[in-house]
Amino acid sequence: MSSNIGRYILVFSASIALASCWDGNGKNMERYVTDYFDESNGNIRHLRDTTTRSRSKRYVLSKGKWPHRTLRWRLHNNQLSRNDRYIIRSTLHRAFDVWAEVSSLQFMELKDSMDTTNNNNDEHSQHIPTDIDILFVKGKHGDGLPFDGPEGVVAHAFYPTVGALHFDADENWTLNSDSGINFFQTAVHEIGHLLGLEHSTDPRAVMFPKYRKFSTDFDLADDDIRGVRSLYPLTDPKN
Band of pLDDT at residue 138, cut at 50, 70 and 90: confident
Beta-carbon-side half-sphere exposure of residue 159 (alpha carbons within 13 Å):
18
CATH superfamily to which 30-48+56-231 belongs: Collagenase (Catalytic Domain) (3.40.390.10)
The reply, when asked if residue 168 is annotated as ligand binding, is: yes
Alpha-carbon gap, residue 134 to 131, rounded angstroms: 10
Of 153, 232, 238, residue with least CA distance to 194: 232
C-alpha torsion sign, points 93, 94, 95, 98: positive
Band of pLDDT at residue 12, cut at 50, 70 and 90: very low
Read off the pLDDT of residues 184-227 as tens digits, 9 standing for 90 and up.
Answer: 999 999 999 999 999 999 999 999 988 888 999 999 999 999 99
Every domain of the chain and the residues it spans:
30-48+56-231
Active site residue 123: no
The reply, when asked if residue 166 is annotated as ligand binding, is: yes
DSSP readout, 156-225? Answer: EEEPTTT-EEEEETTS-EESS-SSSEEHHHHHHHHHHHHHTB---S-TTSTTSSS-----TT----HHHH
The reply, when asked if residue 49 is annotated as ligand binding, is: no
> Helix (H, G, I), strand (E, B), or coil: what is residue 4?
strand
Give the predicted TM-score (pTM) of the model: 0.76
Q: Are 11 and 77 in contact (CB under 8 A)?
A: no
CA dihedral 124, 127, 129, 134 (to 10 degrees): 100
The reply, when asked if residue 46 is annotated as ligand binding, is: no
Residue 79 is predicted with a pLDDT of 74
Read off the pLDDT of residues 40-60 as tens digits, 9 standing for 90 and up.
Answer: 444 444 333 333 334 445 677
Band of pLDDT at residue 11, cut at 50, 70 and 90: very low
DSSP readout, 31-42? Answer: GEEEEEEETTTT
- Residue 19 is given by DSSP the state G
Catalytic residue among 30, 123, 190, 198: 190
- Residue 130 is given by DSSP the state P
Is the model's pLDDT at 145 over the cut of 50? Answer: yes
Which residue type sits at 157? A
Alpha-carbon gap, residue 72 to 7, rounded angstroms: 26
The reply, when asked if residue 223 is annotated as ligand binding, is: no
The reply, when asked if residue 143 is annotated as ligand binding, is: yes
